[in-house]
Homo-oligomer: A and B are copies of this chain.
Amino acid sequence: MTTSPKTVADRYLALWNEPDPARRQALLDQAWSAAGRYVDPLMSGQGRDGVGAMIEAARSQFPGHGFTLRGAPDGHGRHVRFSWTLAPAGGAPIAGGTDVATLDDDGRITDVIGFLDGDVGGA
């Protein structure tokens, strides 16, 4: 893997946190494979457009909230694991989760399997 787990996680969360649609699209193009897939207990998206629409929908559900990296990302081979919290600006986390991302040869995400961590916030 040429990209560190920390960098993968930072880019991933920056995309979710980006309020500007054009910049979000640029981050999506950079970080995700065209055929990328996302699934967690609450939502799923297929293809870069599907993932982008899913992120936009999730953002609109939690206006003013942001994702923050929790703990240290780790990884091996094509796989990266990282944990996050979701919180309103200046507020306590309302949810947390752990995502496992798989990357292609170019370091772009092909799959994310997400889980909610019940010991963080209200998830």
A residues engaging B (CB < 8 A)?
39-41, 44, 74, 76-77, 79, 81, 98, 100, 102, 113, 115-116
Contact sample, A vs B, 18 pairs, CB 8 Å cutoff: A39-B76, A39-B77, A39-B79, A40-B76, A41-B74, A41-B76, A44-B77, A74-B115, A74-B116, A76-B115, A79-B113, A79-B115, A81-B98, A81-B115, A100-B100, A100-B113, A100-B115, A102-B113
CB distance from A59 to the nearest CB of B (A): 21
Question: Cα distance A77–B77 when bound, in Å?
Answer: 25
CA distance A41 to B116 in the complex (A): 23
CB distance from A60 to the nearest CB of B (A): 22
In the complex, A123 Cα to B102 Cα: how many Å?
22
Nearest chain B CB to A105 CB, angstrom units: 16
CA distance A39 to B102 in the complex (A): 12
A44: chain B residues within 8 A (beta carbon): 77
A103 to chain B, nearest CB (A): 12
- Chain B min CB distance to A43 (Å): 10
Q: From residue A21, how far is it (CB to closest CB) to chain B in Å? A: 28
